[in-house]
Amino acid sequence: MNTDKRAAIGVFDSGIGGLTVARAVRTLLPDEHIVYFGDLLHLPYGSKSEPAVVQFSLAACRFLRSQNIKLLVIACNTAASLAMDQIVREVDVPVIGVIGPGAETACAATRNNRVGVIGTSRTIESGSYRSAIAAINPLIEVFEKPTPLLVPMIEEGWIGHPVLRLVLKEYLGGFITSDIDTIVLGCTHYPLIRHEVEEVLDGTKTIQVVDSADSTALRTKKLLEENDMYRPAIGEETLKVWLTDSTSSFREVAGRIMGRESIDVSLVDSGYCSEGLCYSACDCSHRQD
């Protein structure tokens, strides 16, 4: 536990998508300092093996813990699906994932108890949404579809691109016949193409599109409130971004998501220690570069 109220909220994703969650946290909690970690070097997580995702996620979370955080948000469905238990064991601050809040939103939204879920291959294979939804309402029928091409296209900045629309048509076609009334964007990158998803699903009937950003931010607020951990207002909005690699489109897309021109971005170097992968500012004492 970190009782320093001025400490940051750590937010972790494999890439840029977790900024959709950071933005929701920022909106609800404007006085909080956010430290964001984007593991661009290992992106996409969604097509990697489970041991690899666990290893990358643990290294990222150890790094964020070294940055004086009081709470950690796993803003990556793939990491939350495959590595949540290990992360909770690894860090000594409260951890919030995106699966539970996303499942809750979907369960509250559906009227006909038929919910679709799209996500990375690993998220869908893990059955994390299916189990989380069943735990809330076992009567809900879940229809899942892995959509692995979406993350690379979003990271590339191909939002609104005609090729994206074609890919979405191919991926979402099956949902139209399965009579779902709600679809979960089970990847934190997907809110960035929400408009395109809505457009492709439109024309048959109204399917509600839900994501976990707002509900995850609400859970974050509740946790800080319950533990009396709000950061005192100091009048400055702060966001620090750490990346394991850089891409030409990151700053531009990140600026658009967060609604600001410049973002404070730094790179971390990776190395190995006896625990496996670790990063330059990691405070482990056994690093072997």
Contacts of the segment 272-277: beta carbons below 8 A, 24+ positions apart: 275/58, 275/62, 276/55, 276/58, 276/59, 277/55, 277/56, 277/58, 277/59
Least distance (Å) between residue 94 CB and ligand DGL? 20
Q: Which of 38, 46, 102, 191 binds ligand DGL (CB under 6 A)?
A: 46
Measured in residues, the chain has a length of 289
Q: Is residue 188 near ligand DGL by the rule CB under 6 A?
A: yes
The answer to whether residue 282 is catalytic is no
Q: Which of 8, 9, 11, 13 binds ligand DGL (CB under 6 A)?
A: 13
Q: Is residue 78 near ligand DGL by the rule CB under 6 A?
A: yes
Q: Which of 10, 15, 116, 191 binds ligand DGL (CB under 6 A)?
A: 15
Which helix (H) or strand (E) segment is 105 a member of?
helix 99-109
Q: Which of 17, 97, 101, 102 binds ligand DGL (CB under 6 A)?
A: 17
Binding mask 81-100 for ligand DGL (x = CB under 6 A): --------------------
Closest by CA position to 103, among listed 71, 83, 80: 80
Q: By beta-carbon distance, which residue lies closest to ligand DGL?
A: 46
Q: Is residue 123 near ligand DGL by the rule CB under 6 A?
A: yes
Q: Is residue 45 near ligand DGL by the rule CB under 6 A?
A: yes
Q: Which two tokens stand for residue 132?
A: 């989380």
Closest by CA position to 104, among listed 216, 217, 189, 220: 216
Integer Cα distance of 142 and 283 in angstroms: 43
Residues marked active site are found at 76, 187
